[in-house]
Amino acid sequence: MIKVGVAGYGVIGQRLADGVALQRDMELVGVADVSPTLAVRALKEKGMPYNLYNAMAGNEGLFKEAEIPISGTLEDLIQKCDVILDATSAGIGAKNKELYKKYNKKAIFQGGENNDVADVFFHGYANYEKGIGKQFLKLTSCNTTGLIRAVDCIDRKVGVKKVAITIIRRVADPGDYHRGLTNALQVDKAPSHQALDLMTIMPHVDATGILVHTPVTHGHIITVVATPKEDISKEELLDIFSQHPRIRNVRLADGFLGNASLFRYARDLGNPRGDMYEIAVFEESVVKSGKDIMFAINIPQEAVVIPENIDAIRAAMEMQRDRIEAVTETNKYLGLGKWMSK
């Protein structure tokens, strides 16, 4: 049984903890955070299903005042684990790396950290083999994770020469205030980091892209123009996507009009927090232009990277050396692909 800890119990950390707890071949030792945040207070109100560790020396009094029990320090948690999922704020993971090295533990960092924090820039489907046995892995961002899923899915069937993307990016997560109240769109300098990151993971694909920040919170939309090596029809593309457990084909005609529709659907399914692990392809968005094929996908930014984090544990700990065996185990325990047989 692989023992796993989560450093940082925020938007991603909460979901990582829940995802690990679902894996029957892993044990969640505990989670760590620096103060009694709302997420930590909710953890207490739920009966403390996970052991909590204090990640900042001197903050013990804050937890005591809030009557939230702690099981030790971050260093205590690290020593009890085989691998740490570091979901701390950007830059903190690089500092925590020194602790992971001190105790010779493996760690997996999130997309906000610089690439040089890890041995491998990792994606479960696209380059699983490169992460096997490595001490430090870094995940791609939410947008890049979903984008690579779609492009890799096509590439493994018919090959992909190049892609051009436009990302309509939510400006903040639900509940965030630090970005302010806005009524504007903002264009980033091209090419976007997601296109560059895709080429890092899949160097044989020529990618470029533009990113537009939008004043919404529930998900990103990415439009993709792909040039496959073999000519494929709209129907063939949708069939390729339909075989992937982390991709849903949805229809505007059925009421899936955009990001908010998918968020509501996830809540109606009873998914915790309204989360979806899978990306969605809007069927009516698929169009051909010569050999190029265009489509739009929805990225549920709060949960989409969780499966790939679990894949990373499997690779780093050499739980499965075969890519398909690994992702299949992750998918099974997270309940991914259940809709495929319905």
Return the active site residues: 142
Which residues, 6+ apart, have CB-to-CB distance to 138 below 8 Å? 108, 109, 110, 111, 113, 115, 117, 118, 120, 121, 122
- Torsion, Cα 230 232 238 239, to 10 degrees, reads -70
Helix (H) or strand (E) holding 95: helix 92-102
E strands, 191-235, are 206-214, 220-228
- Which of 113, 309, 337 is CA-nearest to residue 246? 337
Q: What angle, rounded to 10 degrees, do the helices at 193-201 and 142-158 form?
A: 50
Q: Which residues pair with 106 in a beta bridge?
A: 83
- Which of 310, 155, 139 is CA-nearest to residue 244? 155
Residue 209 near residue 190, CB atoms below 8 Å: yes
- Torsion, Cα 24 219 8 144, to 10 degrees, reads 80
Residue 248 near residue 299, CB atoms below 8 Å: no
